Structure formats: C-alpha cells, structure tokens
Structure 1
Amino acid sequence: MKTLLTLAVLLLTATASHACTGQTPCPIGDRSYHVLEPDGWDGETPLPVLLHFHGWQRQGTLIVQHDRIAGATERRGVLLVAPNGNNGTWTFRTPNSPDVPFARAVLDDIAARYPIDEDQIFVSGYSYGARMAWRFVCQDGADIAALLAISGTLPQATSCPTHPQNARQVYGLDDPVLRFPFGPNGETDHPVSLWRASMGCGDGAVIGEWQQRSFLTLTRTEWECAGGRVALDTHPGGHFIPHGWIARQLDELLGLPNSYP
C-alpha cells in the first residue's frame, strides 16, 4: 500500500509539473511564462532549452504557436520557453532591469519541472525581445550556450559583465523599425562589435551566402574568439524573423543535419 501511495504522489507531481503547456501559462510569482514540449519527447531525456523573448506588444501565447520559432523547436527536440513581458514589453535599457532576474527565475522554474540539458541553454528574441535577450546574456549569461538575436541589439558601447559562449545575430540591412546599426564608417559588421571585443575575437571570415527559402539570401560572417564564437547573418530585407533562421541555428548548435523547416 505504501509503495502504491508513493507512486501515486510521484505521478501527481509529474502531472502538475507539466500542467502548464502551450496556451496555458505557468505562473511564477505575479508573472508567467509559456512552455512547449518538443514532438515525440519521451518524458525523461534531458532537453535543450530555447528561452525566447517576444517582440513589442506580444506575449508567449504567440511564441509557442509561431512556426518560425515553435516549429523549429518542436522538430529538433528543444523545449521552448516563452516568458511574458509586463504590459507587452521588456525593460532592457539599463543593467538593473527587473526582467533579468525574472528570466533567470523562469529558467530555474523550468529546471524544477523538466529534466534540462544545462549545457544547451539558448536565449533568443525578436525586435525588442532581441534587445532583452542581449540584456539578459549581458548581465547573466555565463551559462548560456548561445544567443540567437533577431532584428535588435543593445548599443555596442554597453558594458557587459558576462557573455554567452556563442553569439549569433541576424539583421536586415533595410530594417525600417530598428534600423541596422552600421558602424561609424558604414561597417556592416558593427551589430556584433560588443561581443567581438568582450569575447576576444580575431578577424572575421565571410563564410558566404545561404538560403532556407529561395526568396531571401543571407550573408554570413564568423569570428573565432578566445571566449567562443560570433556569427552575423545579414540580408537585404526589413524587420522580420527570416524563415528557417532559428531552425538553422539550432541545427548547427545541436550538430544536426541542416533541414527546413
């Protein structure tokens, strides 16, 4: 009887820990986040995590059903975690942002609910969410395997006490919303100059052009660094999440064959 009772308690605990998935928010204090499990997960294998900060006036409900984000994580065995910003936005402009400890608390809560691969925690974001992703890894990113930032950065003179092990940025050269941060002499590698300096990078190498969809060509430059690796993808378009960009980054980071979607 005691064994059956113990088993029942364990099953109830497991059910409760995974009760908030998809559109049902996970509460944490007076805030919340959303989580989406990958397809075919066996319930036991430790999961890589993608913590994604939504864009302005969005919420995690959109992220967990967004094909360019959730579609990539579901198919690659990655747990998607989407925190909700206060009033649909993030506090990213100053080092004392309350959203930094909130995001850390979300990661801690996820680790209590799921078996997590602590060596494969990725942080991403789009637009204002990209700026928040930068702020988080700038202040508390020592254990973050990679930053995946889309159409948004912090000012490159920002002082960052920490950095991720791998920094990846994509930006449209014709972005009309958060304009492309060209360097003082028009340099197109300026959006990642902060990471190149803080991570001790050498000279960049233009890897070449690549596509996930035929209508958008991206050009990649990479830097080998003492503290990791930096990559920048640019394209001629505007303010959007390129089809397959997150998917390709995850394929590369996880050592998977490149595929679309």
Structure 2
Amino acid sequence: MRLFLLLFAAVFLPAMGSSKAVCHADVPCTLGDRSYHVRAPDDWDAATPMPVLLHFHGWGRQGDLIVNHGRIAGHTRNRGVLLLAPNGLGRSWDFWRAGSRDTDFALAVIEDAAKRYPIDRSRIYVSGYSYGSAMAWRFACEGGDGVAALLAISGTIPQDETCASHPRDIRHVHGLADPVLEYPFGPGGDPRGAVRLWRDTLGCGAGETAPDYAIRPFLTLSRTVWDSCAAGGRVTLDTHPGGHFIPHGWIGWQLDQLAGRAPRYP
C-alpha cells in the first residue's frame, strides 16, 4: 500500500486540481512569465489540506535547489508541509526598498499552488536564507497579514523601516561571525538589535533569555523571546557563534514547535 501511495503521489498529485501541465520537484510550475518549484510531503494522503512553507532561495540560486535541499525540503517532506520555492529574476530578489515586485509574485505563487493542492491557509509560513531571508522579511513587511510565521535565516532589511503588516510568529536565526551578511547588532553593540523592526512593529516589551539549545551537538544556539507584545504575536531571536549557513535541523525544529510538537531531528 505504501508503495502504491508513493507512486500515486509522484505521478498524479502534481496535476490534481489543475488543468495545467504537471509540475513537481525539479519540474517548475509556470506562472505568467515566471515560475516556482513545489514539493509535496512524502506521506501526503492526497486529500488533507497542508501547511505551506514558502522559501526564498539565496543569491545565485533557484527553487530547484530548495526542493532538493536536505536542510529545507528534508524537513518539510517528513512533516506534512507543502514546500513552495519561487524563482527570483536574475537569481536574486527585489528586497532593498518598499514596493517589491517580488511580493506580488510570491502572493501569486501561493494562490497558484492553492489551485493545485489543498492548503491550510491558517498555517502559511514564509522562510528564506541570505538574500532570500531579506526577501522573506520584505514579504512579511508588505504582505504578511496572512502569514502565520516568518522563519528567517541570515538576512534582514533595515531595522528602521515601517511595516504595513506582520506575521503572528517571527523567528530569526543568524551567526554572530557571519562574514557575508554581517550580524546586525543594535546601537552600542546590542545583540538584540537584529529584530528591532519586529519588536517595534508589534510593540514588544522586554525580551526573556531562554535556555541555550543544540539541535546537533556541534552547534549551540542562544535564544531570546519577546512574547509580551501589544499587537499580540511573538518574536524569537536565535544566534550562534558560526558564520553564514542554514543550521542543521533549524527549519524542522521551528516547524515542530509551531505545530505544538516536541522538536526532533531530522
């Protein structure tokens, strides 16, 4: 039976609910003159609405890398999460200032995917790494009212911007020794300055230091949480002593916590 379900998913599911050409994994879905990649979870039953992780790739990459990436797709595929990976124009993103063309594109990606798969709109998560993380911040700032959580990795936008919207749950992780997109310390070297934009937007009070944790034994993460925010919601900042990379298991760990499960690896 399991073999049948896997074969069914690989051959038929990408075309369900749509007359468009089959697209899944390495085969992109076309959307006007642009495209995105999608990967369904391995054990999806072809009926249950799925949470969505919309992930923006890093500079010089495309979505085909994301849907095959062990630290991204490796954690959505075994957690029942539909992974969407838009392709940036010129292999990058328009995140430097307000009014990004890619915000509208990403919103259109979600709507197009909803024609192909049943999605749980109460659990739309937005993520990104490096330049993709900055784009995820931009998207959350401009189109985040329907976003349940932001999972950002090693990339931000200026902390003095004003955001028209925000997710309910904001989580950012960054290496303190990042040589590519340096860690954005606040005034006076404040290590909590990296998420000041969201703290100001939500009207958060003083943050609380949570216990250090390690998803893998070779990397310890330090966590600060702001959950006394006037606008509701929660801001979480994770830091580690390393550089510019996606920490092993970090995305899966956050997805587990958001689902109310005990975090696990992988």
TM range (shorter): over 0.9
| 2:130 aligns with one of 127, 132, 141 | 127
| 2:74 aligns with one of 55, 58, 71 | 71
CA distance in 2, matches of 1:256, 1:26: 32
Matched-pair contact (CA < 8 Å) for 2:17–2:115:
no
Q: Identity of counterpart residues, as a percentage?
A: 59
| Pairwise CA distance, 1:39 | 1.3
| Pairwise CA distance, 1:18 | 8.1
| 1:194 aligns with one of 186, 197, 204 | 197
CA distance in 1, matches of 2:243, 2:42: 31
Matched, 1:156 2:198: no
CA distance in 2, matches of 1:244, 1:17: 34
Counterparts of residues 13-92 of structure 1 (less than 5 Å): 14=17, 16=19, 19-92=22-95
Matched-pair contact (CA < 8 Å) for 1:18–1:113:
no
* TM-score (ref. length: structure 2): 0.92
CA distance in 1, matches of 2:53, 2:165: 19
Number of the residue aligned with 1:180: 183
Question: What secondary structure is seen at the aligned counterpart in 2 of 1:119?
Answer: strand
Name stretches of at least 5 consecutive residues in structure 1 with no aligned partner: 1-11
Residue deviations 1:66-90 (CA, integer Å, cap 9, x gap): 0000001001000000000001000
CA distance in 2, matches of 1:204, 1:13: 45
Matched, 1:235 2:240: yes
Matched, 1:204 2:211: no
Question: What secondary structure is seen at the aligned counterpart in 1 of 2:83?
Answer: strand
Q: What is the letter of the counterpart of residue 48 of structure 1?
A: P
CA distance in 1, matches of 2:109, 2:117: 12
CA distance in 1, matches of 2:19, 2:88: 24
CA distance in 2, matches of 1:228, 1:95: 23
Matched, 1:257 2:262: yes
Matched-pair contact (CA < 8 Å) for 2:176–2:242:
yes
Number of the residue aligned with 1:109: 112
Residue deviations 1:7-63 (CA, integer Å, cap 9, x gap): xxxxx7647468211000000000000000001100100000000000000000000
Question: What secondary structure is seen at the aligned counterpart in 2 of 1:137?
Answer: helix
CA distance in 2, matches of 1:163, 1:140: 8
Q: What is the letter of the counterpart of residue 76 of structure 2?
A: T
CA distance in 2, matches of 1:219, 1:90: 29
Matched, 1:246 2:251: yes
Residue deviations 1:159-214 (CA, integer Å, cap 9, x gap): 11111111000000000000000111111111111101111111100011101111
* TM-score (ref. length: structure 1): 0.94
The CA RMSD measured in Å over matched residues stands at 1.2
Question: What secondary structure is seen at the aligned counterpart in 2 of 1:141?
Answer: helix
Give the structure with higher Rg (CA): 1
Matched, 1:168 2:174: no
| 1:144 aligns with one of 124, 137, 147 | 147
Matched-pair contact (CA < 8 Å) for 1:52–1:82:
yes
Number of the residue aligned with 1:218: 221
| Pairwise CA distance, 1:255 | 1.2
Q: What is the letter of the counterpart of residue 182 of structure 1?
A: F
CA distance in 2, matches of 1:37, 1:233: 28
